[in-house]
Amino acid sequence: MIKLKSLLVERIDYHDTAEYLVKHYNLRSKVKFGKVRGQNKADYDWIKDVINLRKSYPSVKEFIITVLHEIDHATDRKNMGWRKYEKDYTEAGQDAEDKGGDFHDDNEFEEKAESWARKEYSRKWKRKFS
């Protein structure tokens, strides 16, 4: 017999939560689900200003960190403009490849966004979504 108190009573609305986070950081980026393939958890389209997310995540923590990671990219785009952001991101990826790394994974923009997202989650959002 399953105890009723041990069942999850409330579900998180991922789309609403992602939009809330985007608005919290004063961005106008749109949030879409289901367009991400491969091993990426999310993708940011800096030309259209759209955050594309997977349909599911292993935990709420990973989801929040992923959204915050993409918010950091959107903030950089907002501050730099999409053309300069694209140019600088491509140069950073090319530098990573020249050093023998991966264009995406070893890109300094990706490392900065991941670091910021994890710090921001611990500092600001951990208690709210736990």
Give me the pLDDT at residue 33, please.
92
What span, in angstroms and rounded, lies between the C-alpha atoms of 80 and 75?
A: 9
Name the residue among 104, 2, 9, 113 with its Cα closest to residue 67.
Answer: 113
- Whole-model pTM? 0.89
Give me the pLDDT at residue 3, please.
54
Q: Which residues pair with 31 in a beta bridge?
A: 51
CA distances from 80 to 17, 30, 38, 84 (A): 26, 18, 28, 6
Give me the pLDDT at residue 10, please.
63
Q: Which domains does the chain have, with CATH numbers?
A: 11-129 (3.30.2010)
Residues recorded for the chain: 130
Q: What is the mean pLDDT of the chain?
A: 90
Measured over the CA atoms of residue 87, residue 32, residue 79 and residue 62, the dihedral's sign is: negative
Work out the pLDDT band at 75, boundaries 50, 70, 90: very high
What span, in angstroms and rounded, lies between the C-alpha atoms of 42 and 40?
A: 5
Burial 67-86 (b: 16+ CB within 10 A, else e): bbbbbbbbbbbbeeeeeebe
What is the average pLDDT across 52-61?
Answer: 91
Q: Containing H/E element for 51?
A: strand 50-53
